[in-house]
Amino acid sequence: MGTVFPPQSIVDIQNRIAAGETTPRQALAESARRIDADDEELRAFVARAPLPADVPVDGPLRGIAVGVKDLFDTFDLPTTYGSPIYRDHQPRADAAIVAQVRGAGGWVAGKTATTEFAAMNPAATRNPHDRLRSPGGSSSGSAAAVAAGFIPVALGTQTAGSIIRPAAYCGIAGLKPSFRLLPTVGVKTFAWSLDTVGLFAPSARDVARFAGILSRRPLDHEAGLDIDRLRLGIYRSGIYDQLDPAMADALRKGARVGEELGWFVRDVEETESLRTGREIQAVIQDYEGAMSLLDERTRHRGEISPALLQALDRGGAIEATRYDEARRSARRARRATAELFDNVDLILAPSASGVAPLLSEGSTGDPAFNRLWTLAGTPCINVPGLRAPNGLPLGLTLVARFGGDRLLLAGAVRFEAGLRRT
């Protein structure tokens, strides 16, 4: 089963440092100790950084160990993008968001496992709740390391569902903020119109604190927001017949929690424009992925997994005219998504079809329930707090209007507290 550690809350660590109950060095040493104790089995990290002799004692992230998905450039650690093609790759500079972490006093504890080029080939990481199950992808290691209590926070990316789904499978908070709220400079590109930097933490409160620090915006404050009378829309997608019974029940519980919070709850039906957007997201992802990885799939075909190579070749066969039509459909879907928020403040949807799949299935799970929100660029968060009858985590997604990250996070903190009371 492996060692079970309690989650590390960034908020609690900051409070204890401020109160003199611990020091930044002690907090970082505890993270290093936990990784040493169990990561040989969990395999969340693919490269580790030594604990520095002089740890930062200033900055909002002092004492905070951060996991960095192996898709982000780091000047002091290898960056392989989950591919043997880059096995010896050592960047000269940090990705912009990694430099922000260090500038705020955070310690990059290591590089966390990713699927191959953040695509489909599973990494070796296991789910902390069941070592025979997937932690999700592509941000496999980041989600697992936070869920295992190794580190309080981690960086990831989402192109289809690679923040929300791993967070759901691992039972933690995963935030995909509004498109381009956090910089993607220095992050290996897969699909330039979809790739989004996201964050992991044990709870909505913790991920809000981390997001506020990195975005330099007051995302962890609800001052001036009316959280008591929100309008919550239950999104009724055309693929809800794919939900496991446990997830369908979780969605019903989520609606009841909204009502118990005093929110106005109503159904929101998927329109034709939204359905088309959900479906054509894969066309855009495949086309742009084939273009972004053109050199790799041309000169290094033998070092790409068969499944990914097939997907890249499929994307390379898409005509530019079809891609352009998909982009026009995406614009219509973004407008239709924006119109949803004329009548609701937040939307509630499943984060995945059910619990984490078994590793033996060779899949990191289906991102079908995440595609529309990534295409639309809207901020969304996996809210933890529910479990299936077998004890595994189930996640629900809250979505807000583009740019509504602060409202989303404030609502998620309140909603998570309600879920944990059920």
Tokens of 95: 């990705």
CA distances from 325 to 11, 276, 283, 287, 296 (A): 45, 11, 10, 12, 27
Task: Count CB neighbours of 31 within 10 A.
Answer: 26
Q: Which residues contact 91 (CB under 8 A, 6 or more apart)?
A: 73, 74, 75, 79, 186
Tokens of 214: 């990195």
Residue in 138, 215, 292, 305 annotated catalytic: 138
Residue in 31, 83, 134, 162 annotated catalytic: 162
**Is residue 9 flagged as an active site residue?**
no
For the stretch 11-20, contacts whose Cβ atoms lie closer than 8 Å and that sit 24 or more positions apart, written own/partner, are 11/205, 11/206, 11/209, 13/63, 13/64, 13/152, 14/60, 14/63, 14/64, 14/209, 17/62, 17/63
Residues pairing with 231 in the sheet: 264
Q: Which residues contact 321 (CB under 8 A, 6 or more apart)?
A: none
Helix axes 10-18, 204-215, angle to 10 degrees: 70
- Phi/psi region, residue 110 (left: phi>0; alpha: psi -120 to 50; beta: rest), is left
**Is residue 111 flagged as an active site residue?**
no
Question: What is the secondary structure of 43-70 as a DSSP string?
Answer: --EEEE-PPPSS---SSTTTT-EEEEET
- Comparing CA positions, the residue from 274, 238, 246, 265 lying closest to residue 415 is 265
Tokens of 212: 């506020």
Tokens of 376: 């639309």
Residue in 9, 69, 134, 140 annotated catalytic: 69
**Is residue 162 flagged as an active site residue?**
yes
| DSSP 8-class letter at 357 | P
* Whole-number Å distance between alpha carbons of 242 and 110: 37
List residues with catalytic annotation: 69, 138, 162
